[in-house]
Protein backbone atom coordinates (compact mmCIF):
# COMPACT_ATOMS: atom_id res chain seq x y z
CA UNK A 1 0.00 0.00 0.00
CA UNK A 2 2.82 2.42 0.92
CA UNK A 3 4.70 1.86 -2.34
CA UNK A 4 1.52 2.05 -4.37
CA UNK A 5 0.77 5.43 -2.81
CA UNK A 6 4.29 6.78 -3.46
CA UNK A 7 4.23 5.62 -7.07
CA UNK A 8 0.90 7.34 -7.53
CA UNK A 9 1.84 10.64 -5.89
CA UNK A 10 5.36 11.09 -7.27
CA UNK A 11 4.49 11.14 -11.01
CA UNK A 12 1.62 13.55 -10.34
CA UNK A 13 3.92 15.86 -8.38
CA UNK A 14 6.57 15.57 -11.09
CA UNK A 15 4.05 16.51 -13.77
CA UNK A 16 2.90 19.51 -11.74
CA UNK A 17 6.48 20.71 -11.36
CA UNK A 18 7.38 20.09 -15.01
CA UNK A 19 6.44 23.64 -16.16
CA UNK A 20 8.80 25.01 -13.50
CA UNK A 21 11.58 22.70 -14.72
CA UNK A 22 11.00 23.75 -18.33
CA UNK A 23 11.09 27.43 -17.40
CA UNK A 24 14.33 26.94 -15.49
CA UNK A 25 15.67 25.02 -18.49
CA UNK A 26 15.01 28.03 -20.69
CA UNK A 27 16.53 30.50 -18.23
CA UNK A 28 19.58 28.53 -17.13
CA UNK A 29 20.29 26.52 -20.23
CA UNK A 30 22.08 23.20 -20.33
CA UNK A 31 19.10 21.03 -19.51
CA UNK A 32 18.27 20.14 -23.09
CA UNK A 33 21.47 18.20 -23.57
CA UNK A 34 20.90 14.75 -22.08
CA UNK A 35 17.30 15.51 -21.14
CA UNK A 36 16.13 12.02 -22.16
CA UNK A 37 18.57 10.56 -19.65
CA UNK A 38 16.00 11.53 -17.03
CA UNK A 39 13.84 8.81 -18.57
CA UNK A 40 16.74 6.32 -18.76
CA UNK A 41 17.14 6.80 -22.50
CA UNK A 42 20.83 6.86 -23.30
CA UNK A 43 22.20 8.01 -26.64
CA UNK A 44 25.20 6.97 -28.66
CA UNK A 45 27.43 9.45 -26.86
CA UNK A 46 27.28 7.53 -23.57
CA UNK A 47 26.29 3.99 -24.66
CA UNK A 48 29.91 2.80 -25.22
CA UNK A 49 30.83 3.93 -21.72
CA UNK A 50 27.90 2.06 -20.21
CA UNK A 51 28.99 -1.05 -22.12
CA UNK A 52 32.55 -0.95 -20.75
CA UNK A 53 33.75 -4.07 -18.91
CA UNK A 54 33.00 -4.41 -15.21
CA UNK A 55 30.15 -3.18 -13.06
CA UNK A 56 30.45 0.50 -12.07
CA UNK A 57 29.77 2.18 -8.76
CA UNK A 58 26.76 4.46 -9.25
CA UNK A 59 27.05 7.66 -7.21
CA UNK A 60 24.16 10.13 -6.95
CA UNK A 61 25.08 13.71 -6.00
CA UNK A 62 22.24 16.17 -6.42
CA UNK A 63 24.29 19.25 -7.33
CA UNK A 64 27.58 21.13 -7.01
CA UNK A 65 27.97 20.87 -3.23
CA UNK A 66 27.56 17.09 -3.17
CA UNK A 67 29.79 16.68 -6.23
CA UNK A 68 32.84 17.76 -4.23
CA UNK A 69 32.18 14.83 -1.88
CA UNK A 70 31.62 12.51 -4.84
CA UNK A 71 34.89 13.49 -6.53
CA UNK A 72 36.90 12.88 -3.36
CA UNK A 73 35.16 9.55 -2.84
CA UNK A 74 35.91 8.45 -6.39
CA UNK A 75 39.60 9.29 -5.95
CA UNK A 76 39.76 7.24 -2.75
CA UNK A 77 37.91 4.25 -4.26
CA UNK A 78 40.24 4.32 -7.23
CA UNK A 79 43.17 4.17 -4.83
CA UNK A 80 41.65 0.98 -3.35
CA UNK A 81 40.84 -0.47 -6.78
CA UNK A 82 42.51 1.16 -9.82
CA UNK A 83 40.14 -0.76 -12.15
CA UNK A 84 36.93 0.65 -10.66
CA UNK A 85 34.76 2.81 -12.88
CA UNK A 86 31.90 5.13 -12.01
CA UNK A 87 28.54 6.37 -13.16
CA UNK A 88 28.00 9.78 -11.56
CA UNK A 89 24.48 11.23 -11.70
CA UNK A 90 23.17 14.60 -10.64
CA UNK A 91 19.94 16.57 -10.91
CA UNK A 92 20.99 20.05 -12.00
CA UNK A 93 22.50 21.36 -15.22
CA UNK A 94 25.17 23.21 -13.23
CA UNK A 95 26.24 20.02 -11.51
CA UNK A 96 26.07 18.07 -14.76
CA UNK A 97 28.32 20.60 -16.53
CA UNK A 98 30.86 20.51 -13.71
CA UNK A 99 30.92 16.70 -13.68
CA UNK A 100 31.40 16.60 -17.46
CA UNK A 101 34.50 18.76 -17.07
CA UNK A 102 35.93 16.54 -14.34
CA UNK A 103 35.16 12.99 -15.49
CA UNK A 104 36.87 11.15 -18.31
CA UNK A 105 36.36 7.68 -19.78
CA UNK A 106 35.69 5.03 -18.58
CA UNK A 107 33.62 7.06 -16.09
CA UNK A 108 30.37 8.62 -17.28
CA UNK A 109 28.20 11.55 -16.18
CA UNK A 110 24.41 11.28 -16.49
CA UNK A 111 21.29 13.03 -15.27
CA UNK A 112 19.55 11.12 -12.48
CA UNK A 113 16.52 9.23 -13.87
CA UNK A 114 12.96 9.89 -12.78
CA UNK A 115 12.21 7.83 -9.67
CA UNK A 116 9.30 5.79 -11.03
CA UNK A 117 9.44 1.99 -11.31
CA UNK A 118 9.62 1.63 -15.09
CA UNK A 119 12.24 4.32 -15.62
CA UNK A 120 14.38 3.33 -12.64
CA UNK A 121 14.26 -0.37 -13.52
CA UNK A 122 15.45 0.45 -17.03
CA UNK A 123 18.31 2.57 -15.66
CA UNK A 124 19.45 -0.11 -13.22
CA UNK A 125 19.34 -2.81 -15.90
CA UNK A 126 21.33 -0.64 -18.30
CA UNK A 127 23.96 0.59 -15.81
CA UNK A 128 24.26 -2.69 -13.81
CA UNK A 129 26.00 -1.09 -10.81
CA UNK A 130 28.04 -3.02 -8.28
CA UNK A 131 26.78 -0.61 -5.59
CA UNK A 132 24.73 2.56 -5.38
CA UNK A 133 25.95 5.46 -3.27
CA UNK A 134 23.65 8.10 -1.79
CA UNK A 135 25.56 11.33 -1.07
CA UNK A 136 24.22 13.03 2.08
CA UNK A 137 20.43 12.56 1.96
CA UNK A 138 19.68 11.44 -1.59
CA UNK A 139 16.90 9.07 -0.53
CA UNK A 140 15.14 8.04 -3.76
CA UNK A 141 12.72 5.25 -2.79
CA UNK A 142 12.38 3.29 -6.04
CA UNK A 143 16.10 3.53 -6.73
CA UNK A 144 16.87 1.98 -3.35
CA UNK A 145 14.06 -0.59 -3.46
CA UNK A 146 14.70 -1.81 -7.02
CA UNK A 147 18.46 -1.95 -6.46
CA UNK A 148 17.84 -4.14 -3.42
CA UNK A 149 15.69 -6.52 -5.45
CA UNK A 150 18.65 -6.94 -7.81
CA UNK A 151 21.06 -7.63 -4.94
CA UNK A 152 22.79 -4.26 -5.38
CA UNK A 153 23.84 -2.77 -2.01
CA UNK A 154 23.00 0.86 -1.19
CA UNK A 155 25.38 2.89 0.97
CA UNK A 156 24.68 6.37 2.32
CA UNK A 157 27.81 8.52 2.64
CA UNK A 158 28.29 11.83 4.40
CA UNK A 159 24.80 11.24 5.74
CA UNK A 160 22.97 14.07 7.41
CA UNK A 161 19.44 14.99 8.37
CA UNK A 162 18.73 18.39 9.83
CA UNK A 163 16.40 18.95 12.76
CA UNK A 164 13.98 20.69 10.38
CA UNK A 165 13.97 17.79 7.90
CA UNK A 166 13.64 15.32 10.75
CA UNK A 167 10.33 16.88 11.77
CA UNK A 168 9.00 16.36 8.26
CA UNK A 169 10.27 12.80 7.96
CA UNK A 170 8.67 11.86 11.29
CA UNK A 171 5.29 12.38 9.67
CA UNK A 172 6.30 9.76 7.09
CA UNK A 173 7.60 7.13 9.53
CA UNK A 174 5.35 4.33 8.24
CA UNK A 175 7.12 4.84 4.92
CA UNK A 176 10.68 5.46 6.16
CA UNK A 177 10.53 2.43 8.47
CA UNK A 178 10.03 0.30 5.38
CA UNK A 179 12.53 2.14 3.17
CA UNK A 180 15.57 2.83 5.36
CA UNK A 181 16.28 -0.81 6.36
CA UNK A 182 16.82 -1.46 2.64
CA UNK A 183 20.04 0.58 2.83
CA UNK A 184 23.03 -1.63 3.61
CA UNK A 185 25.16 0.91 5.52
CA UNK A 186 25.01 4.50 6.78
CA UNK A 187 28.12 6.67 7.09
CA UNK A 188 26.85 9.63 9.11
CA UNK A 189 28.45 13.01 9.79
CA UNK A 190 27.50 13.39 13.47
CA UNK A 191 25.82 11.57 16.34
CA UNK A 192 22.84 13.91 15.99
CA UNK A 193 22.41 12.91 12.33
CA UNK A 194 22.61 9.24 13.34
CA UNK A 195 20.06 9.58 16.12
CA UNK A 196 17.57 11.45 13.94
CA UNK A 197 17.81 8.84 11.19
CA UNK A 198 17.42 5.96 13.66
CA UNK A 199 14.31 7.69 15.04
CA UNK A 200 12.62 7.47 11.63
CA UNK A 201 13.47 3.84 11.03
CA UNK A 202 17.11 3.32 10.09
CA UNK A 203 18.72 0.26 11.74
CA UNK A 204 21.00 1.40 14.56
CA UNK A 205 23.40 -1.51 13.99
CA UNK A 206 24.20 -0.29 10.47
CA UNK A 207 25.32 3.18 11.54
CA UNK A 208 28.86 4.57 11.61
CA UNK A 209 29.98 8.08 12.55
CA UNK A 210 32.60 8.93 9.95
CA UNK A 211 32.61 12.74 10.12
CA UNK A 212 32.09 15.11 7.22
CA UNK A 213 33.67 14.25 3.87
CA UNK A 214 33.49 17.91 2.93
CA UNK A 215 36.76 18.33 4.80
CA UNK A 216 38.48 15.86 2.47
CA UNK A 217 39.23 18.23 -0.37
CA UNK A 218 42.55 19.04 -1.94
CA UNK A 219 43.89 22.57 -2.20
CA UNK A 220 42.79 24.43 -5.30
CA UNK A 221 44.72 23.07 -8.31
CA UNK A 222 47.59 25.39 -9.28
CA UNK A 223 46.21 25.75 -12.80
CA UNK A 224 42.86 27.04 -11.46
CA UNK A 225 44.63 29.55 -9.23
CA UNK A 226 46.89 30.64 -12.11
CA UNK A 227 43.91 31.04 -14.43
CA UNK A 228 42.07 33.30 -11.97
CA UNK A 229 45.23 35.34 -11.37
CA UNK A 230 45.72 35.71 -15.13
CA UNK A 231 42.17 37.05 -15.53
CA UNK A 232 42.83 39.69 -12.89
CA UNK A 233 46.22 40.61 -14.35
CA UNK A 234 44.80 41.07 -17.86
CA UNK A 235 42.02 43.21 -16.38
CA UNK A 236 44.64 45.48 -14.84
CA UNK A 237 44.16 44.22 -11.27
CA UNK A 238 47.71 43.65 -10.07
CA UNK A 239 48.90 41.59 -7.08
CA UNK A 240 49.13 44.76 -5.00
CA UNK A 241 45.33 45.03 -4.88
CA UNK A 242 43.35 43.55 -1.95
CA UNK A 243 40.81 41.14 -3.43
CA UNK A 244 37.38 40.62 -1.84
CA UNK A 245 35.51 37.65 -3.33
CA UNK A 246 31.78 37.20 -2.81
CA UNK A 247 31.31 33.51 -3.59
CA UNK A 248 28.05 31.64 -4.33
CA UNK A 249 26.08 34.81 -3.64
CA UNK A 250 22.30 34.99 -3.79
CA UNK A 251 19.82 37.80 -4.29
CA UNK A 252 20.46 40.65 -1.85
CA UNK A 253 24.00 39.61 -1.02
CA UNK A 254 25.55 41.22 -4.09
CA UNK A 255 23.75 44.45 -3.11
CA UNK A 256 25.24 44.33 0.40
CA UNK A 257 28.75 43.78 -0.95
CA UNK A 258 28.35 46.46 -3.62
CA UNK A 259 27.07 48.99 -1.10
CA UNK A 260 30.06 48.34 1.13
CA UNK A 261 32.48 48.56 -1.79
CA UNK A 262 30.95 51.70 -3.30
CA UNK A 263 31.13 53.53 0.03
CA UNK A 264 34.75 52.59 0.71
CA UNK A 265 36.54 52.38 -2.63
CA UNK A 266 37.52 56.06 -2.76
CA UNK A 267 39.26 55.80 0.61
CA UNK A 268 40.75 52.40 -0.26
CA UNK A 269 41.64 52.36 -3.97
CA UNK A 270 43.67 49.17 -3.47
CA UNK A 271 40.51 47.14 -2.75
CA UNK A 272 38.83 45.21 -5.57
CA UNK A 273 35.55 43.26 -5.64
CA UNK A 274 34.94 39.96 -7.42
CA UNK A 275 31.36 38.64 -7.48
CA UNK A 276 30.66 34.98 -8.24
CA UNK A 277 26.86 34.45 -8.08
CA UNK A 278 25.61 30.97 -7.24
CA UNK A 279 23.49 31.00 -10.41
CA UNK A 280 25.11 32.53 -13.47
CA UNK A 281 21.73 33.16 -15.10
CA UNK A 282 21.18 35.93 -12.54
CA UNK A 283 23.83 37.98 -14.34
CA UNK A 284 21.32 40.56 -15.64
CA UNK A 285 20.09 41.38 -12.13
CA UNK A 286 23.65 41.59 -10.80
CA UNK A 287 24.74 43.80 -13.69
CA UNK A 288 21.81 46.11 -12.95
CA UNK A 289 22.81 46.31 -9.28
CA UNK A 290 26.39 47.18 -10.25
CA UNK A 291 25.29 49.90 -12.70
CA UNK A 292 22.88 51.37 -10.15
CA UNK A 293 25.87 52.18 -7.94
CA UNK A 294 27.80 53.88 -10.72
CA UNK A 295 30.40 51.11 -10.94
CA UNK A 296 31.94 49.67 -14.08
CA UNK A 297 32.09 45.91 -14.57
CA UNK A 298 33.95 43.28 -16.53
CA UNK A 299 31.96 40.08 -17.23
CA UNK A 300 34.03 36.93 -17.19
CA UNK A 301 31.68 35.34 -19.77
CA UNK A 302 32.55 38.21 -22.13
CA UNK A 303 36.26 38.07 -21.30
CA UNK A 304 37.47 34.59 -22.25
CA UNK A 305 41.02 33.38 -21.82
CA UNK A 306 43.25 35.09 -24.35
CA UNK A 307 40.96 38.08 -24.86
CA UNK A 308 42.71 41.45 -25.10
CA UNK A 309 42.83 43.62 -22.01
CA UNK A 310 39.84 45.91 -21.50
CA UNK A 311 40.21 49.55 -22.45
CA UNK A 312 39.80 50.66 -18.84
CA UNK A 313 40.35 48.94 -15.51
CA UNK A 314 36.92 47.84 -14.21
CA UNK A 315 35.57 48.52 -10.74
CA UNK A 316 34.09 45.01 -10.37
CA UNK A 317 34.70 41.60 -11.92
CA UNK A 318 31.54 39.52 -12.39
CA UNK A 319 32.39 35.82 -12.75
CA UNK A 320 29.24 34.64 -14.52
CA UNK A 321 30.72 31.30 -15.58
CA UNK A 322 30.70 27.78 -14.15
CA UNK A 323 33.54 25.98 -12.40
CA UNK A 324 35.86 28.92 -11.64
CA UNK A 325 34.87 29.76 -8.08
CA UNK A 326 37.71 27.91 -6.38
CA UNK A 327 40.32 29.61 -8.50
CA UNK A 328 39.06 33.02 -7.39
CA UNK A 329 38.77 31.85 -3.79
CA UNK A 330 42.45 30.89 -3.96
CA UNK A 331 43.58 34.38 -5.03
CA UNK A 332 41.32 36.25 -2.59
CA UNK A 333 42.50 38.23 0.39
CA UNK A 334 39.05 37.96 2.04
CA UNK A 335 36.13 35.67 1.15
CA UNK A 336 32.44 36.12 1.86
CA UNK A 337 30.53 32.83 1.43
CA UNK A 338 26.99 33.42 0.22
CA UNK A 339 23.47 32.15 0.86
CA UNK A 340 24.16 33.07 4.45
CA UNK A 341 23.20 36.74 4.79
CA UNK A 342 19.88 37.24 3.01
CA UNK A 343 18.99 33.57 2.39
CA UNK A 344 18.77 30.44 4.55
CA UNK A 345 21.10 27.47 4.34
CA UNK A 346 24.59 28.69 3.56
CA UNK A 347 27.18 27.45 1.08
CA UNK A 348 30.35 25.46 1.66
CA UNK A 349 32.97 27.43 3.67
CA UNK A 350 35.52 24.60 3.55
CA UNK A 351 36.72 25.33 0.01
CA UNK A 352 38.25 28.75 0.80
CA UNK A 353 39.33 27.48 4.24
CA UNK A 354 41.34 24.69 2.58
CA UNK A 355 43.40 27.38 0.84
CA UNK A 356 43.91 29.34 4.05
CA UNK A 357 41.61 32.22 3.10
CA UNK A 358 39.91 34.27 5.84
CA UNK A 359 36.21 33.40 5.65
CA UNK A 360 33.22 35.58 6.51
CA UNK A 361 29.64 34.25 6.59
CA UNK A 362 26.23 35.56 7.54
CA UNK A 363 23.94 34.20 10.27
CA UNK A 364 22.23 31.53 8.14
CA UNK A 365 24.36 28.39 7.88
CA UNK A 366 21.58 25.86 8.53
CA UNK A 367 22.84 23.42 5.88
CA UNK A 368 26.17 23.08 7.69
CA UNK A 369 25.36 22.69 11.40
CA UNK A 370 28.30 20.49 12.38
CA UNK A 371 30.73 22.38 10.15
CA UNK A 372 29.51 25.67 11.62
CA UNK A 373 30.15 24.37 15.13
CA UNK A 374 33.65 23.27 14.10
CA UNK A 375 34.51 26.65 12.57
CA UNK A 376 33.14 28.58 15.53
CA UNK A 377 35.05 26.48 18.08
CA UNK A 378 38.28 26.78 16.11
CA UNK A 379 37.93 30.52 15.51
CA UNK A 380 38.33 29.72 11.83
CA UNK A 381 35.84 32.26 10.45
CA UNK A 382 33.95 35.42 11.30
CA UNK A 383 30.16 35.11 11.40
CA UNK A 384 28.15 38.33 11.18
CA UNK A 385 24.52 38.91 12.06
CA UNK A 386 23.55 41.45 9.38
CA UNK A 387 24.76 43.69 6.54
CA UNK A 388 25.89 46.43 8.92
CA UNK A 389 28.16 44.08 10.83
CA UNK A 390 29.35 42.56 7.54
CA UNK A 391 30.57 46.00 6.42
CA UNK A 392 32.48 46.55 9.64
CA UNK A 393 34.14 43.12 9.51
CA UNK A 394 35.12 43.38 5.84
CA UNK A 395 36.58 46.84 6.39
CA UNK A 396 38.64 45.55 9.30
CA UNK A 397 39.92 42.46 7.52
CA UNK A 398 40.80 44.19 4.27
CA UNK A 399 42.86 46.66 6.32
CA UNK A 400 44.56 44.05 8.53
CA UNK A 401 46.64 41.37 6.73
CA UNK A 402 47.82 40.01 10.09
CA UNK A 403 44.28 39.15 11.21
CA UNK A 404 43.61 37.64 7.78
CA UNK A 405 46.69 35.45 8.13
CA UNK A 406 45.61 34.33 11.61
CA UNK A 407 42.12 33.37 10.37
CA UNK A 408 43.58 31.60 7.35
CA UNK A 409 45.96 29.54 9.48
CA UNK A 410 43.13 28.56 11.84
CA UNK A 411 40.97 27.55 8.87
CA UNK A 412 43.66 25.37 7.29
CA UNK A 413 44.45 23.70 10.62
CA UNK A 414 40.78 22.90 11.15
CA UNK A 415 40.43 21.28 7.73
CA UNK A 416 43.58 19.21 8.26
CA UNK A 417 42.37 18.06 11.69
CA UNK A 418 38.91 17.02 10.47
CA UNK A 419 40.06 15.17 7.34
CA UNK A 420 39.76 11.40 6.90
CA UNK A 421 36.03 10.70 6.53
CA UNK A 422 36.27 9.88 2.83
CA UNK A 423 38.79 7.11 3.45
CA UNK A 424 36.45 5.44 5.94
CA UNK A 425 33.45 5.76 3.62
CA UNK A 426 35.33 4.41 0.62
CA UNK A 427 36.40 1.35 2.62
CA UNK A 428 32.74 0.52 3.34
CA UNK A 429 31.67 0.88 -0.29
CA UNK A 430 34.62 -1.21 -1.45
CA UNK A 431 33.71 -3.95 1.00
CA UNK A 432 30.03 -4.06 -0.01
CA UNK A 433 30.41 -4.00 -3.82
CA UNK A 434 29.04 -7.02 -5.62
CA UNK A 435 30.93 -8.68 -8.49
Question: What positions carry a catalytic annotation?
Answer: 66
Q: How far apart are CA 429 and CA 420, in angstroms?
A: 15
- Indicate left, alpha or beta for 203 from its phi (over 0: left) and psi (-120 to 50: alpha): beta
Sheet with 334-337, strands from edge to edge, namely 297-299, 316-318, 271-277, 242-249, 334-337, 359-361, 382-383
Q: How far apart are CA 282 and CA 280, in angstroms?
A: 5
Taking only Cα atoms into account, the Rg of the chain, rounded to an integer number of angstroms, comes to 22
Cα–Cα nearest to 257, from 236, 241, 271, 240: 271
DSSP string over 361-387: E-S--TT-HHHHHHHHHHT-SEE-SSH
**Exposed, middle or buried, 293 (CB in 10 Å: 0-12/13-18/19+)?**
middle
Residue 213 contacts by C-beta under 8 Å, 6 or more apart in sequence? 69, 72, 73, 157, 158, 421, 422, 425
Q: How is residue 36 annotated by DSSP?
A: G
State how far Cα 262 lies from the chain centre: 30
Q: How is residue 420 annotated by DSSP?
A: -
Q: How is residue 337 annotated by DSSP?
A: E
**Exposed, middle or buried, 284 (CB in 10 Å: 0-12/13-18/19+)?**
exposed
Amino acid sequence: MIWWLYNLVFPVAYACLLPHFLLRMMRRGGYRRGFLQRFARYGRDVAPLLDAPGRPVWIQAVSVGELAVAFSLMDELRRLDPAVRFVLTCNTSTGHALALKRLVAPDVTLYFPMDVPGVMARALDRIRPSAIVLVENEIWPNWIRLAGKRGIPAVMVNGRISAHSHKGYRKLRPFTRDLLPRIRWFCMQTEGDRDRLVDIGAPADRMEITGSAKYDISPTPPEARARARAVLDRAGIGPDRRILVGGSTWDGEEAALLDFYARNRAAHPDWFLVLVPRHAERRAAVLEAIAARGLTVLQRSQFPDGAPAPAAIPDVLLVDTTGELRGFYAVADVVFVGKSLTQDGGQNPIEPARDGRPVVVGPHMENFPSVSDDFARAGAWVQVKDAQELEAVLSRLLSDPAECAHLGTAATSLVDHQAGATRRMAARIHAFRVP
